[in-house]
Amino acid sequence: MRIVVALGGNALLRRGQVPDAQAQVDNIRVAMRALAPLTDAHDLVITHGNGPQVGVLAIESAADARLTQPYPLDALGAMTQGLIGYWLLQALGNERPYRQFAAVLNQTLVQAEDPAFGNPTKFVGEVYDEATARALADKNGWQVKADGTGWRRVVPSPQPREIIETRLIDGLLQQGAIVICAGGGGVPVVLTPGGDLHGVEAVIDKDLSAALLANRLGADRLLVLTDVPAVMEDYGTDRAREIRRATPEQLRALDLPAGSMGPKVEAVCRFVEEAGPGAAAAIGNLEQAEALLDGRAGTYVTAR
């Protein structure tokens, strides 16, 4: 099968963990050990988040007295694609040295008039207490919002419309390569009136970009891998239960958190609604990736 995998942020950095390089490398080694068996029998595309990493680079850039202004988010997104792509490429290559892997730096087209630019919602960077977050916001011109028990920076997250390098990714798959791409949802770009592409200040939701890419590539499966076993109904209560099989209509009827499970559910719904017969998506734990393919684990989503 042709499979697109969206790696959750926990595969790179666990919540509350200091974003040191070695900690992330160690986490990625564990994650790629779990994912490597899928490369033995399937064509695989791997996407990933970049929120914490963009946050680290943004702070460093803002603190650099040599710069007249910090590097923009599109440039920071490109940096993280290269950084994380390298880590994933190396870890997978160590697990399967006889396979070919490619890390692709790619752009994702968004619309300049997307309302998300006026309502930042995408969390990036580290978690702070409220006082620290507000102080950083005042100093750097950021916007911050509550994220659970902490506070984080928020940036615009426009809807992905096209993955610019889709044909290149498809060509690499046809040549037998495992492709790492669309990191952080891809570098956000808009089309100028003159027909040029131009980067914008945003971070795209990686799960929605993964769904778009999966549809454009004609994938058979979209796997959204996270640190929970499945989508939960009544999550956080004593009535919580795993949803094992569902349709988009059933999942959209749930009241899910917009900052965590909500985008993941929307991504799998979009994929199965647009995909061809036999396609399916799943949300579940990274360690159960193989079992997610046919519904033996996680939440298995089909059009009907």
Q: Which residues are catalytic?
A: 9-10, 122, 206, 264
* Bridge partner residues of 298 (DSSP): none
* Structure token digits, residue 60: 């460093």
CA 98/CA 6 separation, integer angstroms: 23
DSSP H helices in 194-282: 206-216, 248-252, 261-274
* 254, 233 contact by CB (below 8 A): yes
Taking residue 184's Cβ as centre, other Cβ atoms within 10 Å add up to 29
* 161, 109 contact by CB (below 8 A): yes
Task: Check residue 115 and report its DSSP letter.
Answer: G
* Structure token digits, residue 146: 């509550």
* 150, 126 contact by CB (below 8 A): no
CA 171/CA 10 separation, integer angstroms: 30
Task: Check residue 4 and report its DSSP letter.
Answer: E
